[in-house]
A and B are shown apart, each in its own frame.
Chain A
Amino acid sequence: MFLPFVLCLVPFLFAAGLLVTPVASRSWASFALYGVCLGVTCLLLAVGVLGLAAAGEGAPPQLMRLPLGLPGAGVGFRLDSLSAFFLIVVNFAASAASLFAIGYGRHEHAPGRVLPFYPVFLAGMNLVVVANDAYSFLFSWELMSVASWFLVIAHHRERENRRAGYVYLIMAAISTQALLITFGLLSDFGRVLDFEAIRTSPHAVDIARLAVLAAVIGTGAKAGLVPLHVWLPLAHPAAPSHVSGLMSGIMTKVAIYGLVRIVFDLLGPPEWTWGAGILFLGGITAVVGVLYALMQHDLKRLLAYHTVENIGIIAIGLGLALAFRANGFALGAALALTAALFHVLNHSLFKSLLFFGAGAVLTATGERDLERLGGLIRGMPVTAFCFLVGSAAISALPPLNGFVSEWLALQAILISPELPQWILKFLVPMVGAGLALSAALAAACFVKAFGIAFLGRARTVAAERAVETDRTSQAAMLILVAACVLAGLFPGMVVDALAPVVTMLVGSHLPVQSSNPWLTLVASTPERSSYNGLVLMVFIALSALLPALGIYGLASRKLRRAGAWDCGYPETSSATQYTAASFAQPIRRVFASVVFSASEQIDMPLPGDARPARLTLGMKDPVWTVLYRPLVETVNAAAAVVGRARTLSIRQHLSLVYAVLILLLVVLALWQ
């Protein structure tokens, strides 16, 4: 009974996009539009919560069919626990983004290029998660892609953004093509488009494998699985910051929804090879994503690369869940899938938060480059606090939410030695090591991002003059901070809420957490694995508070202020501080010299030479050089060959057509 509400609310978003178009340049248009979006997404969030609660009490999935779309077929919608969960993920972050944009949107210099597409983008994402046939799924998917493409090229005067839009368009097309193939294979070559029919019909082993491969390519290109991630660090920073938050925080999650829906729900019982493949890709993605992020000093691009890393973590959870389920380990599958879905929620919270923080910094200073920021904590204390909490959460520090989901994923990895296949026996520990490595590197990366941007002294005048962002933007960030903290302190409630989703997909769920004493989270058995965020929080608070009190209470009150030791150089330029590049140098030397073939060239002039000394860094992106450049060159070469046919004479054209005709006739003759 909640599904009709979703289908009634979504048209309001379309109407808002349509109505705002003629008045987009008015000063009140942005306020009104984001207000409407905030209201609608809050209602959709409520529908999601009620839907998930109903599913938890055992309500069956709701189905609806509307006479739209293909003539005769109509479009189907379905609200089950998985859709309800993703409705919550999408609309919580979307309402926060709308609230943030009420303040942030005032700084937009081209509102006519952003306002009409923003609600359509939201509508597309909402429709994807309730679509129940291949046609409506692909239609909403494309709606989401096209609307977000318009948002990416909103500031189209910058050359970089146009390139980002171009690459994004190509990758989105590849994604949809691959999904089209997936549904073609699943639907018995287009005979049954309805998900209900696909779910009940059997699939041959080879067809199912091909379908999984195409689904991983199709959804992975949207979510940012390596090596299909190339558009993501270009496109996400190009959009306005609240849209970057949406694209990174929830559009990638909608892609994950597509993967879960196809692989866990539509295809039926999995094979362990699917799980191994997704696990492998996830491991690579997590490590490579964070290495990319470490090499970045553009704040928004750094965050976009972290999205790649977190998608890898989610994929690790999904791959493990498939491997466990294929081997009949119900609890392991439930644990891994809970970890993945929990991380979906977490990442949507803290990635939106961090992008909003980056947006606040961008409006205050006009800078995205870390090397030109610094000392912002004095001008922007609230933003700094929010960014710090987001950084701690994404770095998986307890007692915040990021820790819980990564801890659950590691718990799932720890019980994997019970898996029978030797490939998995080798692969899973390697992926586990990769997961631990990526968590550590992520922490290093956010120490860099927060430290260089907010601490130290201002490196530019703009950074020195930065003032705090407006109240609504602060409110949006503080709401997300609260959500991160609450999800970290009370993970048992989230795990219990996820139970119906996990039960629907893998047939079992984690033990009910609400009965555990002191809000403890128990993954399998209390002796083997349990975590209590509240106790940890109290411990951290006490262990920090007691020494502080002790120092202030017992130590001498005599305070002496003196200048810092300057190593004998009285130069106090802010350029003498640590930079982002110098902070990342040790890690760059260890990892990037192999992965990115990073090279350093030092040009040190002799004494007496007035030339400045230079350090030049060179890096190559292996994905571009190994995968995409040869691909582009092949396509260009093929186009050149075909292009030659354009200048043939009339008789040669005729001969060409004739030759094809004869060839087809020969094929026909041989075929019979």
Chain B
Amino acid sequence: MPGQGLAFDVAHMLAGGMVTVSFMLLFQDRLFALIQFISLHALVLAMALAWQAYIQTAEHLYAAAALALMVKAVLIPVVLHRLVRRLRIERTVEVVVGVGVTMLFGICLVALSVVVMLPVAAKSPLMWEDLSFALAVVLLGLLIMITRRNAVGQIIGFLSVDNGMTLAAAGARGMPFLIELSIAFSALVALIVFVVSLSHIYKRFESADVQALDRFRGDTP
């Protein structure tokens, strides 16, 4: 059992690492690179979970970490990689808003999450930092979702939102294992839904661009 100071420093390093990887995801505009970064995102999450398991001496978190490693860091990226190759859409992701603006907005979001979590700071400063990092990851994931046109980009955004929630759940003590398990399970279900619908969208419109759906609805000419 390491000392309190070191334990929390490492935990914060890992959580901060996730925020950094989120920014990388936000910046990245190539599909394969995005998939690799989401794998990295999940890897950092698994490490954070394992560290939490170690310092809280909560064995079930090891299981969560292993699950994150297997499902989110390996299985999902592999499936997405094969999908992208199968659909032959390895070209550049079109980012809707300029990257610079998106990054600046993302920085503002991190500041916002720190401010929002301020009342927690009064009770426990350590929890405060944990939760603000987790919230920042969630908000950045949502930002990724809305700035991508391509459905694969939206899947990546969704997965990073999911990772942020898992991080928040791990940081809060006494969170039942069942909840973490269900979060992981929901990610799997979401993956299946996304892959199936993406394949269908592609088969129907020969494109993974969700704007094809709008054209189909007749809303945009």
Contact = CB atoms under 8 A, between A and B. Distances in A.
Contact of A665 (B116, B119, B210): B116
Contacts, number: 41
Interface stretch (B52-60, B142-150, B182-190): B142-150
Interface stretch (A348-356, A440-448, A645-653): A645-653
A666 B112 CA distance: 7
Contacts of A661: 139, 142
A421 B59 CA distance: 78
Interface stretch (B72-80, B171-179, B213-221): B213-221
Nearest to B220: A649
B44 to A, nearest CB: 24
A649 B116 CA distance: 30
A587 B83 CA distance: 84
Contacts of B116: 665, 668-669
Contact of B145 (A654, A668, A669): A654
B221 to A, nearest CB: 13
B70 interface: no
Contacts of B119: 672
B165 to A, nearest CB: 14
Q: Interface of chain B, helix or strand or loop or mixed? A: helix
Nearest to A650: B210
A518 interface: no
Given A649-B214, A650-B213, A672-B119, A662 B112 contact: yes
B219 A649 contact: yes
B115 A669 contact: yes
Interface in B138-166: 139, 142-143, 145-146, 149
B147 to A, nearest CB: 9
B149 A651 contact: yes
A331 B96 CA distance: 77
A658 interface: yes
Interface string B183-221: 000000000000000000000000000110110010110
A668 B118 CA distance: 10
Contacts of B113: 665
A655 interface: yes
Contacts of B146: 651, 654-655, 658
Contacts of B217: 647
A647 B217 CA distance: 9
A648 B109 CA distance: 25
Contact of B143 (A650, A658, A666): A658
Contacts of A650: 210, 213-214
Interface size class of A (residues with CB under 8 A): 10 to 19
**Interface core residue of B139, B146, B211, B219 (most chain A CB under 10 Å):** B146
Nearest to A665: B116
A655 B142 CA distance: 9
Interface in A623-672: 647-651, 654-655, 658, 661-662, 665-666, 668-669, 672
B210 A649 contact: yes
B217 to A, nearest CB: 8
Nearest to B117: A669
Interface string B56-88: 000000000000000000000000000000000
A650 B219 CA distance: 11
B211 A649 contact: yes
Interface string B86-125: 0000000000100000000000010011011011000000
B211 A658 contact: no
A432 to B, nearest CB: 60
A665 B143 CA distance: 15
B213 A649 contact: yes
Nearest to B105: A662
Contacts of A668: 116
A427 to B, nearest CB: 52
Nearest to A670: B115
A651 B210 contact: yes
A650 B145 CA distance: 11
A672 B96 CA distance: 34
Nearest to B215: A649
B118 A658 contact: no
Contacts of A672: 118-119
Contacts of B220: 649
Nearest to B114: A669
Contact of A647 (B142, B143, B219): B219
A655 B109 CA distance: 15
B94 to A, nearest CB: 12
A670 to B, nearest CB: 9
A672 B120 CA distance: 11
Interface of B: 96, 109, 112-113, 115-116, 118-119, 139, 142-143, 145-146, 149, 210-211, 213-214, 217, 219-220
5 contacts: A649-B220, A650-B213, A661-B142, A666-B112, A669-B115
Q: Which 5 A-B pairs have the closest CB atoms?
A: A669-B115, A649-B214, A655-B146, A654-B146, A669-B116
Given A658-B143, A661-B142, 20 more contacts: A647-B217, A647-B219, A649-B210, A649-B211, A649-B213, A649-B220, A650-B210, A650-B214, A651-B96, A654-B146, A658-B142, A658-B146, A661-B139, A665-B112, A665-B113, A665-B139, A666-B112, A668-B116, A672-B118, A672-B119
